[in-house]
Amino acid sequence: MNPLALFSAVTVEQVKEILKKHLEGYKPEIEEANLLQAYNRVLAEDIVSPEDIPAFNRSTVDGFAVRARDTFGASESMPALLTLVGEIRMGEQTEIKLSTGEAAKIPTGGMLPECSDAVVMLEYTQLMDDTILCAEKPVAPKENVVEKGEDIKKGSVVLKKGHTLRPQDLGALAAVGIDRIKLVKPPAVSVISTGDEIKPPASSVKPGEVRDINTYAICGEVMKWGGLPLPQGIVRDNFEDLYDAVKAALEKSHMVLLSGGSSVGARDHTVKVIESLGKPGVLAHGLPVKPGKPTVVAVVDGKPIIGLPGHPVSAMVIFEILVRPIISTMLGRPEDFGGTRVYARMSRNIASAAGRQDFIRVKLEQRGEELWAVPVLGKSGLISNMVESHGLARIPSEKQGVAEGELVEVEIY
């Protein structure tokens, strides 16, 4: 086959749809874990609260529990006189039940006594003696009180299956008394770097050689987005070595990522290797994206194999727009799960071809009231571009560039 014929006009969205179809049979494994192992992991079950939180009406201040209506009209010159009937201790249920005109001392977080519905803050009270309390300010019903079930209602869904756990979510699970939960097991993602010139980071390099950036940048991406990276090292650019490496990787992982060797060149074997490994094989070679055009998208025996371009920036961009959604699908996350997206004004004109999505590395700058996206220009072989930028601005395929001052969507790394 003429290798150029492989460069297809299929869009990233179409490729994602095709991949999704191939992944319909993918059933992630589920594992149980403690809360402190669950940060940034994906919930495999809906969490329903077994209790009202708080389980009792609770004071939010240090002061005196009262019946609000007993304080109505109170002021510094005309305080409400209340009878102090006792003190509520932290963490204990009280026997006190307030009658009209009575108050009980209460700490922040203490349980309100029966028949009280508000708390007067300590600083608005004066004790005349051991039993007479002057309230110098009125309180409304429910003032300075968190009601039973106000935080989380018994029987309500606290967190949904597919949700990625943030620190506050771990806190909410702890609040409702759940400390072991079912999580989706991260998909294992093999990462292979190819190229005779690529050397491990610890080696000294001879002229013509470069250190392996992609294994590290791509494994980092896999970790960041919820997968388990399985780095497979550097493979020389010949059919046999690549075949053995991809075959071994397919057996031990749910997805294989290769980098390098995807463009049309004499040494490029990725496509041939994939085609000889099984069906359906290569689905697309070439995407209308810049950077990242020479991407290979394949499926073998239900497992995606993505040939990322060798240039590190291109490999990272294709990871973000294509591989990340696949990992999200495998985890049961929403497909568009990603970084924070903001709108910013482009600081200069950027040209782009219609029919192609462009991703521009940008720095974000606050200028007065407005956020500006300043392109970090440079070739897609320069990793420093990614280091210096804050995110990617997307120019959609229907546009021919953006003008200075035009709003663009930026996804922050």
Q: What are the residues binding ligand MOO (CB under 6 A)? A: 290-293, 309, 311, 314, 380
- 206-245 binders of ligand LQZAQKY5 (CB under 6 A): 210, 212-214
239-252 vs 270-277: helix crossing angle, rounded to 10: 50
d(CA 254, CA 326): 11
If one asks whether residue 312 binds ligand LQZAQKY5 (CB under 6 A), the answer comes out as yes
261 binds, among ligand LQZAQKY5, ligand MOO, none (CB under 5 to 8 A by kind): ligand LQZAQKY5
The strand pairing partners of 23, in sequence order, are none
Range 375-407 burial, b when 16+ CB lie within 10 A, else e: bbeeebebbebbeebbbbbbbebebeebeeeee
Q: Output the six-digit token pair for 4.
A: 């150029």
Interacting residue with ligand LQZAQKY5 among 94, 193, 253, 385 (CB under 6 A): 193
At residue 332, the 3 state secondary structure works out as coil
If one asks whether residue 293 binds ligand LQZAQKY5 (CB under 6 A), the answer comes out as yes
Quote the least distance from Cβ 149 to ligand MOO, whole Å. 54
Give Cα separations from 218 to 125, 225, 297 (angstroms): 62, 11, 16
| Phi and psi at residue 202, to the nearest 5° | -80, -5
Contact segment (CB under 6 A) with ligand LQZAQKY5 among 54-62, 92-100, 205-213, 322-330 equals 205-213
Please say whether the beta carbons of 285 and 340 come within 8 A: no
Quote the least distance from Cβ 20 to ligand LQZAQKY5, whole Å. 25
358 binds, among ligand LQZAQKY5, ligand MOO, none (CB under 5 to 8 A by kind): none
Short-list 405, 409, 406, 378, CA closest to 396: 409
Give Cα separations from 23 to 272, 326, 329, 356 (angstroms): 23, 9, 8, 26
If one asks whether residue 285 binds ligand LQZAQKY5 (CB under 6 A), the answer comes out as no
Binding mask of the shown chain, residues 364 to 403, with x at each position contacting ligand LQZAQKY5 by CB under 6 A: ----------------xx----------------------
If one asks whether residue 314 binds ligand LQZAQKY5 (CB under 6 A), the answer comes out as yes
**Chain contacts with ligand LQZAQKY5 (rule: CB under 6 A):** 193, 195, 197-198, 210, 212-214, 259-263, 268, 291, 293-294, 309-312, 314, 380-381
